[in-house]
Amino acid sequence: MSSSSLLSVFNVTVTYGPIAAVHDVSLDVWSGEVVVLAGANGAGKTSLLRAVAGVTPVAAGRVAFAGTDLTGLPADRIAALGLRMVPEGRRLWPTLTVKEHLEIAWRDVPAARRAALAADLDRLFPRLAERRQQRAGSLSGGEQQMLAIARGLAADPKLLIIDELSLGLAPGVVRRLFDALRQISAAGVTLLIVEQALRQALAIAHRGYVLETGRLVVEGTAAELADNEAVRRAYLTV
């Protein structure tokens, strides 16, 4: 564990009553990396992300981001530091338009920077640019996921956390979204991704971690995880 990493999770435990959803997990995300967090349903992945983002309390351990101790800080303070999360299920406002979602997201971003962000998002997601006045609830599932990612990027984050990018989406849409993540990474945004489609996630990742029943069981480079027999048997056989 190094204090100079962008995100440091140090011996974090997350509990729900007497049950430990995450137990003594440590990991690092370095600036410029794409890091994937894998594991079966119920492994504790989302609980760990929610603890990092300040949505769920940390029962033990600590979280540091860009040199600031996040432990105990509310979610809005953490977001203001440059850590943004795209939650599982997207959590969009169905009656608000694409434009309104983005305007809310970048309300604290300097006006000069907003113009550049808007242009970047139009290039990254041209389908959203065509649907700027359309309500989120009327978008397709893939378009909603694009909007959820765009909303996170509109806040100009240092780190974007994405929980279950591919959930419920057709393979062709998933491929387009992973291509977008490659472009986002190339533009300098650090990414931490929870993803069931591990083969595609490892294709764009630098490193990864695997959780089982709330505990960290495997870590390594993307190539090392792809070559790990246990990981291949559990997650890469399809």
**Coil, strand or helix: which one is 84?**
strand
Q: What does the pLDDT look like over 207-236, one tens digit per residue?
A: 999 999 999 999 999 999 999 998 988 887
Q: Within 13 A of 48's CA, how many CA atoms are on the CB side?
A: 36
Largest CA distance in the chain: 50
Q: Which residues pair with 207 in a beta bridge?
A: 35, 221
Which residues lie closer than 8 Å to 67 by C-beta, 6 or more apart? 3
Global pTM reads 0.92
Q: Alpha-carbon torsion 3, 32, 128, 99, what sign?
A: positive
Q: C-alpha dihedral over 189, 88, 169, 118, to 10 degrees? A: -40
How confident is the model at residue 223, as a pLDDT?
A: 95
Q: Which residues pair with 163 in a beta bridge?
A: 194
Round to whole Å and give the CA distance between 163 and 88.
5
Q: Residue 186's CB: how many other CB atoms inside 10 A?
A: 9
Q: What's the whole-number mean pLDDT along residues 65-82?
A: 94
**Coil, strand or helix: which one is 220?**
strand
How confident is the model at residue 50, as a pLDDT?
A: 94
Counting every residue, how long is the chain? 238
How confident is the model at residue 1, as a pLDDT?
A: 39
Q: What's the whole-number mean pLDDT along residues 133-143?
A: 94
Select from 9, 39, 37, 43 the least CA-distant residue to 24.
Answer: 9
* Per-domain boundaries in the chain: 1-82+158-238, 91-156
Residue 3 has pLDDT above 60, yes or no: no
Round to whole Å and give the CA distance between 117 and 100.
15
Residue 23 carries which side chain, given as an amino acid letter? H
Residue 2 has pLDDT above 70, yes or no: no
How confident is the model at residue 90, as a pLDDT?
A: 81
Select from 212, 82, 47 the least CA-distant residue to 152.
Answer: 82
Q: What does the pLDDT look like over 29-38, one tens digit per residue?
A: 999 999 999 9
**Tokens 């190539």, residue?**
223
**CB-count exposure of residue 113 (10 Å: 0-12, 13-18, 19+):** exposed
Share of the chain above pLDDT 70, in %: 97
Residue 185 has pLDDT above 90, yes or no: yes
E runs forming strands in 49-187? 60-65, 68-69, 83-86, 159-163
How confident is the model at residue 196, as a pLDDT?
A: 81
Strands 34-38 and 190-194: parallel
Q: What does the pLDDT look like over 17-64, one tens digit per residue?
A: 989 999 999 999 999 999 999 998 889 999 999 999 999 999 999 999
Residue 149 has pLDDT above 60, yes or no: yes
Q: What's the CATH fold of domain 1-82+158-238?
A: Rossmann fold (3.40.50)
